[in-house]
A and B are shown apart, each in its own frame.
Chain A
């Protein structure tokens, strides 16, 4: 077992927070509360990202996920005025049983696999570079080697924008 450093402590705390609020998100039947729980979870995740020496991703995580995507969810929920989920719906029992079983099997496998891999993973070499250098280096990578993907992504976003606009437009204006 690895030593308990301060950084690890903070990371574990953040991860726990993320997991707890993710659970809240899944369990809570009110969609607005679910979204808010996910905001907290993602915020905790962004702290974890900082500790994994990815400050850029952490900032993007908050700006894009918490600041834009989840706000959008909140908006839609408020606009549609979605009610709380009914306690027992029309789902068939077989679906629930099968789901539970499949999830259980999958979870056991996934966690055991990750655990074994995490234990045997080769230890990292040296300390990570400073945060500032990382941002510039990541940006350089993004704009040189992955430039094509980056540009393709911008096209994708444009397509999504147009698509969302076309889909959400009221029928009468079409």
Chain B
């Protein structure tokens, strides 16, 4: 590998991460304005036009606050935990393709961080690691609310990971590959000339299960039991303040974006557009924008749901995961297997 290759790889991997860090304030602002919209109140509107600079002000606040580590905590773990949460959230983006291959100076560069053969497995591996951030935060805080939040989160994430993985297995089965670029490739084009070949159509059940499960995986309402402020103060991040809290806060939004991007990639054709064949640099831009737009839509749904639905009770959450989502996901898997055996898919 030449130095240029290294450089290109570095850019490919870092670009999406940086992009996410840069646009992170947008969903944060969107969340608060959206909450205002849904609850029929203005929302933040003092800092900048439409309160656009509010996230910036928040960031400044987080940096300026006192960084408190309570007594009798496990200091090492207490410090590491938010780092694990943010790190595992950010690195997941490395394997999600965000555009078609672009040819620059005779080199064909696929627009994906790392086009690894076990892309989806890599994603699930990192997702399963993200539970450590929260569980450790809960445990090291030496606080009963934090501990309950951490344990709840762990059980919830492991439970819903089953349903999520099984739902995604339908897509893997249809694509015949763990590679996310293959998953996107199989979803280009149309059926009968007008239905996009998106997985959501043959596998609607799989999509539904997957998307519901991502809500639980990201600890968002209606499944935000780990931090349920009405009963657990703040859940696993009760004891956190200042920058460490900001890392948890950011991790939540990154997770949301990643979950949306993954949903788009698996079920909505990723960067591809049904009637559009990307050519040249313009095509790349259009495709990347399409990916961005689709992802943004699902991020908005996350926000929309949060401010619309009430929180589940924990037993209801577990019942839904094990007794409803998992069987439905299995059903979906059977259905896809049937389609594949009948050669109606891909």
| Contacts from A to B (Cβ < 8 Å) | 32, 36, 39, 55-56, 58-60, 62-63, 66-68, 71, 74-75, 78-79, 130-132, 134-136
Contacts and interface: CB of A to CB of B under 8 A. Distances in A.
Interface stretch (B105-113, B129-137, B329-337): B129-137
A64 to B, nearest CB: 9
29 contacts: A36-B132, A55-B116, A55-B117, A55-B118, A56-B118, A58-B118, A59-B122, A59-B124, A60-B121, A62-B126, A63-B128, A67-B125, A68-B128, A71-B128, A71-B131, A71-B158, A74-B139, A74-B154, A75-B154, A78-B150, A130-B117, A131-B116, A131-B117, A132-B117, A132-B177, A134-B117, A135-B118, A135-B178, A136-B177
Contact of A59 (B125, B147, B158): B125
Contacts, number: 69
Contacts of B135: 71, 74-75, 78
Nearest to A61: B125
Nearest to A81: B147
Given A78-B147, A79-B151, A135 B129 contact: no
Contacts of A63: 121, 124-125, 128
B288 to A, nearest CB: 25
A67 B129 contact: yes
A30 to B, nearest CB: 9
Chain A contact residues: helix, strand, loop or mixed: helix
B154 A131 contact: no
Interface of B: 77, 116-118, 121-122, 124-129, 131-132, 135-136, 139, 147, 150-151, 154-155, 158, 161, 177-179
B151 A59 contact: no
Nearest to B122: A59
A74 B161 CA distance: 17
Contact of A71 (B125, B147, B154, B179): B154
B118 A59 contact: yes
A132 B129 contact: no
A67 B128 contact: yes
